[in-house]
Amino acid sequence: GAGVSQSPRYKVAKRGQDVALRCDPISGHVSLFWYQQALGQGPEFLTYFQNEAQLDKSGLPSDRFFAERPEGSVSTLKIQRTQQEDSAVYLCASSLYPADEQFFGPGTRLTVL
Amino acid sequence: GESVGLHLPTLSVQEGDNSIINCAYSNSASDYFIWYKQESGKGPQFIIDIRSNMDKRQGQRVTVLLNKTVKHLSLQIAATQPGDSAVYFCADIPGGKLIFGQGTELSVKP
């Protein structure tokens, strides 16, 4: 069956460029999470959606980071004016209900030059 | 605040041996923990979970032990296989969002 998919898998951006990362959760999953994973570290929570509502964005590192899920399915994480410290793997996860097991996508590796 | 940490960044074992990966946590109120396996180029994959009303939980070749007194949990992998080579994370899940430790990289020598 289809799992969580993310695109692109790899993205190289020049410092100052804007990027958009896409997440397609498992069909019917209510909850969607974004995590950032720096090299050699564990994933760190960025933001959480329940359907189209963004219920928690406490992990977004700056106002350059913006996430949306307008129809309660696909989500986009946008990073404006990228900086080198934004280089990381961005992971998306979805779960059927908020407290259920989270299924992760393969991530998007962002490299900012 | 919450934090979850691991004791060792790397662990190397011989194929067929048992592996033990340790994790410490700081939040006494934590009541649910999950172990994840992450292979290179992939997202974390659920292995096993345990709630605070349990001391031990067993799965297929894996066992998680929870010691609430010293706020410590461990993942035991029996008869470690080359396919077990990966980074292993313990995670706390306060309010539904996962709090991961740094991870232990397990290498299995043939």
CATH superfamily ID and name for A5-112: Immunoglobulins (2.60.40.10)
CB of A90 within 8 Å of any CB in chain B? no
The Cα A56–Cα B60 span in angstroms is 35
Residues of A in contact with B102 (CB under 8 A): 40-42
Q: Does domain B4-109 have CATH number 2.60.40.10?
A: yes
Average pLDDT over residues B63-81: 95
CB of A25 within 8 Å of any CB in chain B? no
CB contact under 8 A, A101 and B89: no
Model confidence at B30, pLDDT cuts 50, 70, 90, reads confident
The Cα A61–Cα B96 span in angstroms is 19
CB contact under 8 A, B96 and A106: no
Look at residue B1 and tell me whether its pLDDT is greater than 50. no
Question: CA-CA distances (angstroms) from residue B50 to A15, B4, B30, B91, B99?
Answer: 43, 15, 11, 11, 15
Comparing CB atoms, the residue among A42, A91, A99 nearest residue B96 is A99
Average pLDDT over residues B45-73: 95
The Cβ of residue A18 has, within 10 Å, a number of other Cβ atoms equal to 12
Low-confidence ranges of chain A (pLDDT < 70): 1
User: For chain B, what are the domain ranges?
Assistant: 4-109
**Which residues have CB under 8 Å from B108's CB, separation 6+?**
B12, B13, B14, B15, B80, B81, B82, B84, B85
Average pLDDT, chain B: 90
Instruction: State residue B7's pLDDT score.
Output: 52
The Cα B95–Cα B93 span in angstroms is 6
Average pLDDT over residues B12-28: 93
Instruction: State residue B8's pLDDT score.
Output: 58
Look at residue B35 and tell me whether its pLDDT is greater than 90. yes
User: For chain A, what are the domain ranges?
Assistant: 5-112
Instruction: State residue A1's pLDDT score.
Output: 55
